[in-house]
Amino acid sequence: MQKKEPAVRKGALIWRFLQGSKGLFVVSMLLAALTALTDMITPQIIRAAVDNAIGGNEPTFGPAVMKLVNALGGFEYLGKNLWIMALAVLLVAVVKVVSQYGFMLSNTRASETLTKTMRDTLYTHIERLPFSWHMKNHTGDIIQRCTSDIETTRNFVAGQMTSLFRIGILVVLSMVFMFSMNTTLTLIALIPMPVIVWYSIHFHNKIGEGFKECDESEGRLSAMAQENLTGVRVVRAFGRERYEKDRFEKHNEEYTSLWVRLGKVMSRFWASSDVLSGLQIMLVVVFGAVFCLQKNMTSGEYIAFISYNSLLVWPIRQLGRMISEMSKAGVAVDRIGYIIHSETEKDKENAVCPDMTGDIAFEHVNFAYEGCPQMLHDIHFTMKAGTTLGILGGTGSGKSTMMLLLDRLYDLPADCGKITIGGVDIADMKLEHLRKNIGIVLQEPFLFSRTLQENLSIANESLTLSDIREAARAACLDETIEGFTKGYDTFVGERGVTLSGGQKQRAAIARMLTQHTPIMIFDDSLSAVDAETDAKIRKALEKRFGSASIILISHRITTLSKADQVIVLDKGRIAEMGTPDELEKAGGLYQKIYEIQSLTKEEVDA
Ligand SMILES: Nc1ncnc2c1ncn2[C@@H]1O[C@H](COP(=O)(O)OP(=O)(O)O)[C@@H](O)[C@H]1O
Ligand SMILES: [Mg+2]
């Protein structure tokens, strides 16, 4: 499921997310550079003060600095008035504080803007991804990609990237100052650097892999928690709390131990890199002291050199962390890229919006779910416009799949037959147009945690309450809703009433009816209501159907008996087709079910 993205693509993705925050990041980089520069100046002031006041000799600087020194009264004057030097240190510190403050402000602003852009982009993209994509991917995992992976990417751009820039400037400036003071000592200071850098890179792969494992384990853990919370009823009803708790603990344990293992690797790295940098500092201190004794270096230069060296060692040591954070960010960007680079639902170039009141035809349709054996075999039939088609078949025979194909929640691959409405292939239609004209009540209705009124009007927000009530009446739900103390303002779901299966189904029917579509599909939509209510709803519905084409999927023969045509589906194949009257006597599956369902109690007992 997770492919590694090439670095260029990762960069392009981050560049795209930087829309709107680039300017702010540039400002914070400039301020970071200014802060780095102030770090460079203080050791020079101290060097001048030490050499001048203690050593009694005049340090040499570039012409610009000498001009400034002369304007202030020359070294001799400055040596007698050390407070000027102290003031200069203070002044530099103030500039540093102000630029650091500005950096924090602009960087926070930039990173929050970046996070917002990432969240918006991802959410918009996910909304447009096909149904099949959503069926393939765990909700918990998607949520993790939209939260903690975004967080990691943000930290990378706003933290590591700006730090890297700052480190770059620090390193370059430190080297310039160090070389200007003593070439030999600078070269000595640089000798251990390649080892430190090589060492960091050596750990790069190890740490990256560890982070990936941790991330994946976290995804599994949150997917599990999410599924458990959603299925809390099943867990309780089956007394599976203990089992689920144990399962969670097992995963949690695995997750924890992965982090601990990663922690061990990281500690080893930090400890050994501590030793390496200690050695480097030792080299500079020892050789610097020797050069001072040989009069090749002044005390002021020695002190300044050690300051620059520590400024240099710090970023080099940070390199290890940078690299590990970068590999972590690389994984996070990969995971976000997986979503962003998943193909969204798209219309064909010349997609059409034809009249949808024509005949519906399945022409030799074959279909298999991805990675599964063939499910539908040569489904071929025509349903006249304005008629009612009944579909009967055992569970798993492919009834719902046919409807998902008709609504293009799954696209029919090429060479797998076609589905037409009014002679036009649905693959050539605009998706929005197609779905707007097909009202579908799915087998497992889903209601949002919103009020009933909001739930019933999702198809069209401008519906009036009387429109909604009219639809609810047809679905035999109006009375039930009126029975709730808050009526149509009743909250559904976690924060409100929990509707029964039958009530949910009726709410889903009412929601569909508000659309007034020329094609209506009821996928086993009355299975959870009793036979009497079923009959009542059907009667109320018939009045509203008018010229619409209706597809009724049901297990109840009585539900299908009014259909103009019935298809009996068996293991993905059409086993029988005809009017209910014909099928009652055809001697097939329909007749068998018809006979079982029309037996009286006495007959069953007998
Ligand atoms: N998203 C899916 N991926 C793989 N197989 C699926 C998917 N959805 C359904 N199936 C399988 O396809 C078959 C037909 O399912 P379905 O059309 O829902 O049957 P019915 O509605 O007739 O009960 C079943 O065997 C089911 O397990
Ligand atoms: Mg089904």
Whether residue 351 lies inside any domain: the answer is no
> Is the distance from CB of 198 to CB of 65 less than 8 angstroms?
no
Query: Is the shortest distance between the CB of 395 and ligand 1 below 6 Å?
Result: yes
Q: What atom of ligand 1 comes closest to residue 393's alpha carbon? A: 22
Phi then psi for residue 302, to 5 deg, are -60, -45
Whether residue 352 lies inside any domain: the answer is no
Q: What atom of ligand 1 comes closest to residue 553's alpha carbon? A: 21
Question: Can you give the residue range of the structural domain that contains 503?
Answer: 360-605
Average pLDDT across the chain, whole number: 88
Q: What is the pLDDT of residues 124-134, one digit of tens each?
A: 999 999 999 99
DSSP 3-state of 245:
helix
Q: Are residues 286 and 412 in the same domain?
A: no
Domain count, the chain: 2
Ligand 1 midpoint to CA 401 (Å): 6
**pLDDT for residue 355 is more than 90:** yes
Q: What is the pLDDT of residues 407-462, one digit of tens each?
A: 999 999 989 999 999 999 999 999 999 999 999 998 888 889 889 999 999 888 88
> Is the distance from CB of 78 to CB of 72 less than 8 angstroms?
yes
Once rounded to an integer, what is the mean pLDDT over residues 325-349?
88
**pLDDT for residue 1 is more than 50:** no
Q: Are residues 464 and 499 in the same domain?
A: yes
Model pTM?
0.77
In whole angstroms, what is the distance from residue 583 CA to residue 581 CA? 6
Whether residue 350 lies inside any domain: the answer is no
> Is the distance from CB of 481 to CB of 454 less than 8 angstroms?
no
Identify residues whose C-beta is under 5 A from ligand 2, the ion: 400, 443
Which residue's alpha carbon is at the smallest distance from atom 20 of ligand 1?
396
Q: Are residues 237 and 111 in the same domain?
A: yes
**pLDDT for residue 492 is more than 50:** yes
223 — pLDDT class (breaks 50, 70, 90): confident
**pLDDT for residue 3 is more than 60:** no
546: left (phi over 0), alpha (psi -120 to 50) or beta: left
Q: Are residues 287 and 419 in the same domain?
A: no
Highest mean predicted confidence (pLDDT) among 389-393, 493-497, 530-534: 389-393
Q: Which ligand number lies closest to the CA of residue 377?
A: 1
Q: Are residues 112 and 183 in the same domain?
A: yes
**pLDDT for residue 281 is more than 70:** yes
Once rounded to an integer, what is the mean pLDDT over residues 305-315?
86
In whole angstroms, what is the distance from residue 82 CA to residue 100 CA? 27
Q: Are residues 120 and 233 in the same domain?
A: yes
